[in-house]
Structure 1
Amino acid sequence: MSRHAQHPVRGIDEHRRAVEDALRGLGARTETVPLAAAPGRVLAGDLVAPLSLQPFDNSQMDGFAISAADSRAAPGEDGRVPFAVVAPVPAGHVPGPLAPGEAAPVMTGAPLPPGADAVVPVEESLPGGFPAPGTLVRLPAGQPAGRFVRRAGEDVAAGDTALVAGQRLTPARIGLAAALGCAELTVRARPRAVLYTTGDEVVAPGTVRGPAQVFDANAAILRAQLAEAGVEVIGAHLLSDDAGAFAARLAEDTAARPDLFVSSGGVSEGAYEVVRQVLAPHGEFVHVAMQPGGPQGLAAPGGVPFVCLPGNPVSTLVSFEMFLRPALTGVLGAPAPRARAMGPLAEAVRPLPGRTQVRRAVWDGAEVRMAGGPGSHLLAAAARANALVLVPAGGAELPAGTRVELLLLD
């Protein structure tokens, strides 16, 4: 009997939901950070506006603040009404009240004088520019109330919810917090992860490699992916194919209470799959209808979520992008989802029956060119890629020009 017959195959979306469910406990810890450290973080609680934006009626233009009703007096032959110029109002200064028939030169952002309800741009005045106080300026008749006036509370009223818990802090949202007078924000703490890579055949870069060994690329891949996703790696260990040593290391790290464990390798059904051997009593190991990255595992030793990824470098990279990164986004609100696109194939591609193929490709905005073959060991080809192509399961070849879905990595 085949392995797939013994173990039902799980769909990609189903496994993504399973990973997200496993991470539900993340995000409970919070911390307060200055605005300079807030980009990309996720707001932990609603931000209620302590003041209105705008805080006061102010001018949208450099011009003359007037009472619109005064501009409806009988105009002269040129269609203009004379106003007496009073002292100018620079931004940041409190003006005095405006009497009927007066016009106060106001700068952009300056408060409107009491009694004014419209601003006439300086470009529309005669004579041009700002005349000295005590002289006359002629302005077009029939000005509407509210022209070029930014009203108090027009953007946000004091007491309104300005930002909602769970929102990722973009530059505009951070700017809004600053405009409301906030110097810091309470955000969800970054998850702390312990990372394992396994295998007697794997040695750390910079050490001596035996004739049957390879350098560990997976730890570097996962460190970079976790950092990009806003996860702090607090421990990383390269472990041999020794179940006892792995169990001892896991027990020690579990006592330190990380938020998350992530591993690569050791999840298939061979004789030396130490991750599966140790964690099988604490979780589930499945085969996902995806190539590369079919074998996957989820566990919770000591109540800490443990995401088990396959060990070939490209399988590790693809599995993180397909499952762990979107699960973090779903639970925490960060990182930002990968952008998606549709594009035509530059060459024919043959799908796999019953499995989605996740191919590495170069997308130039016009066509999709595969970067190397489908093998899960082709890391140099993956390094050239800027997109993952989701080739749906099927038997018939997809001819050049077929539009396919892309997950954009750059």
Structure 2
Amino acid sequence: MSDGADRVWSVSEHLDSILGQLSPLEAIELQLLDAQGCVLVEDVTVPVALPPFENSSMDGYAIRTADVKAATDAHPAVLDVIGDIAAGSGELPTVGPGQAARIMTGAPLPPGAEAVVPVEWTDGGTGGGPVSTMAAHSTDASASGGEVRVYQGAETGQFVRARGSDVAAGELALAAGTVLGPSQIGLLAAIGRGTVTVRPRPRVVVVSTGSELVQPGEPLGPGRIHDSNSFALTAAARDAGAIAYRVGAVADEVETLRATIEDQLVRADIVVTSGGVSVGAYDVVKEALSSLGGGSSFGSEEGDEDAPEGGGADFGHVDFRKLAMQPGKPQGFGRIGPDRTPLLALPGNPVSAYVSFELFVRPVIRTLMGAGAVHREVVRARCVTAIEHSPQGRRQYLRGHHDRVTGTVTAVGGSGSHLVKALAYADALIVVPESSTSVAAGDEVDVILLD
């Protein structure tokens, strides 16, 4: 049943009515790599200082600064090499006066040492002059004993990574609300966290409808077109942070569509359909989903004890509305299935479907994720292109290219909702408000940034 079939909803009213029914998904504990793209629900503090010990930032020699203070090319400091220290070394030699320990990058600074001189500042223990960079990398680091000549002095702490110089114990590493990307996961691993508590990425099932749709890669017959919506919307869902599943195009058959959606609910936190939501004779989505309430056999098993008398289970309710927007006037939203999974029914024209996704589906995904940034960034920009006609009383969304440097936006392509190429070249949506029927070149407009 339609919610106020004759009422025209504003974009904001429709979105608010959707988000007002939703809350973030329940938090779960995941292994680090499984948590990529998820949102933290807890502050993570550092249990142990990072790095946990003083270590060398160079291949070279651990020394006492007093021993090399006066070192020059003409008068190098000559030190006894007492051993080698590699990364991961446990027992460390103590560096005394007139001594040095050969040390590798990342290896712990030994007792008594105050700095590290790079191997390029020495003769590499060969008894010759200063080594070149290439020679430094070829020096036999396994040898111990003998002498090393140092040709340049060093300050205390030079080329030494201090304990806690990255983060100190007890310091906040990541705050709740952080989206975990590669660098955040690297930090969690570095401080020893094997698991983390997050809100999972929503699972989005995308279904295109239309008997005219053909899988890309297959030949087109008369009156047929390739299915682009399911690919674009699945990619958009992944870009928004979801785990998205694309379902092949479903023919314009009510029972087939109902069965398809019911089968997909087991892996869906959100269902998105495109096509079939207008007033045409073959608008299968509207026909199939308008009758999901009590009395529908959709979603019920034969002999289901929980089914209401006189029909099947109460499978939910989907409202179909007219919105004061272009493109994307027909929209549908409801909660279906035993878990009351959100379903958003979008129009079928490619641009209408994509714009509708950005305005309604993306905020739903971000809300279920618990992300702080639910909406795309909106900026003001000077419109280079004159927009000669915009429908009175409807908010128009035009594809555009935004230049951050000049603060301008240029319309890309026309207003037709079938112009897929123009959409591919757009990185923004130009918003013409309901009260305007045109925009003069040079006027400022709101711009929704897509990139």
Q: What TM-score results when the alignment is normalised by the length of structure 1?
A: 0.74
| 2:386 corresponds to which of 330, 345, 348 | 348
Distance 1:202 1:28, change over 3 A: farther
SS at match of 1:308: strand
8 Å CA contact retained: 2:72, 2:151? no
1:313 match:
350
- Counterpart CA distance in 2 for 1:344 and 1:111 is 57
- Counterpart CA distance in 2 for 1:24 and 1:379 is 33
- Counterpart CA distance in 1 for 2:118 and 2:262 is 72
Determine if the alignment matches structure 1 residue 57 to structure 2 residue 27: no
1:379 match:
420
| 2:359 corresponds to which of 313, 322, 325 | 322
Cα RMSD (Å): 4.5
SS at match of 1:311: coil
SS at match of 1:382: helix
Paired letter, 1:408: L
Distance 1:140 1:382, change over 3 A: closer
- Counterpart CA distance in 1 for 2:430 and 2:268 is 33
2:114 match:
117
Distance 1:219 1:81, change over 3 A: closer
Quote how far apart the aligned CAs of 1:387 are. Answer: 1.6
8 Å CA contact retained: 2:38, 2:369? no
Quote how far apart the aligned CAs of 1:220 are. Answer: 3.2
SS at match of 1:300: strand
2:250 match:
238
1:278 match:
291
Paired letter, 2:274: S
8 Å CA contact retained: 1:267, 1:295? yes
Determine if the alignment matches structure 1 residue 392 to structure 2 residue 432: yes
8 Å CA contact retained: 1:22, 1:305? no
Q: Could you report, residue by residue, the CA deviation over 1:201-258 in whole angstroms, capped at 9, with x for unpaired residues? A: 64444587565x655443333233334443232755625264x66556555555x363
8 Å CA contact retained: 2:383, 2:442? yes
Q: How does 1:193-272 map to 2 (within 5 A)?
A: 193-198=204-209, 202-205=212-215, 206=218, 216-229=227-240, 230-233=242-245, 235=247, 238-240=250-252, 242=254, 246-247=257-258, 250-251=261-262, 253-254=264-265, 256=266, 258-268=268-278, 272=283
Distance 1:59 1:376, change over 3 A: same
Quote how far apart the aligned CAs of 1:173 are. Answer: 1.8
SS at match of 2:163: coil
Paired letter, 1:306: L
| 1:291 corresponds to which of 310, 317, 326 | 326
Paired letter, 1:107: M
8 Å CA contact retained: 2:25, 2:199? no
Paired letter, 1:325: R
Q: How does 1:26-175 map to 2 (within 5 A)?
A: 26=25, 28=27, 31-32=30-31, 35=33, 39-42=36-39, 49=46, 51-68=48-65, 70=66, 82=77, 84-87=79-82, 89-92=84-87, 93-94=89-90, 95-121=92-118, 128-129=130-131, 133-134=146-147, 137=150, 139-140=152-153, 143=155, 145-157=156-168, 162-164=173-175, 166-175=177-186
- Counterpart CA distance in 2 for 1:190 and 1:76 is 59
SS at match of 2:62: strand
Distance 1:215 1:59, change over 3 A: closer
- Counterpart CA distance in 2 for 1:396 and 1:39 is 44
Quote how far apart the aligned CAs of 1:112 are. Answer: 0.8
SS at match of 1:155: coil
8 Å CA contact retained: 1:347, 1:401? no
Q: For this pair of structures, how many residues does the alignment match?
A: 395
Paired letter, 1:197: S
8 Å CA contact retained: 1:86, 1:134? yes
SS at match of 2:234: helix
Paired letter, 2:395: T
Quote how far apart the aligned CAs of 1:164 are. Answer: 4.5
| 1:361 corresponds to which of 378, 400, 411 | 400
Structure 1, 189-198 or 279-288: larger mean CA deviation: 279-288
Distance 1:192 1:40, change over 3 A: closer
- Counterpart CA distance in 1 for 2:53 and 2:23 is 43
Q: What TM-score results when the alignment is normalised by the length of structure 2?
A: 0.68
8 Å CA contact retained: 2:121, 2:150? no
Distance 1:236 1:41, change over 3 A: farther
Distance 1:24 1:55, change over 3 A: same
Quote how far apart the aligned CAs of 1:328 are. Answer: 1.6
- Counterpart CA distance in 2 for 1:171 and 1:335 is 19
Paired letter, 1:128: P
Quote how far apart the aligned CAs of 1:190 are. Answer: 4.2
2:302 match:
none
8 Å CA contact retained: 1:362, 1:370? yes
8 Å CA contact retained: 1:49, 1:158? yes
Distance 1:5 1:191, change over 3 A: closer
SS at match of 1:305: strand
Distance 1:103 1:194, change over 3 A: closer
Distance 1:103 1:341, change over 3 A: farther
- Counterpart CA distance in 2 for 1:247 and 1:137 is 80
Distance 1:220 1:191, change over 3 A: same
8 Å CA contact retained: 2:76, 2:152? yes
Quote how far apart the aligned CAs of 1:261 are. Answer: 1.5
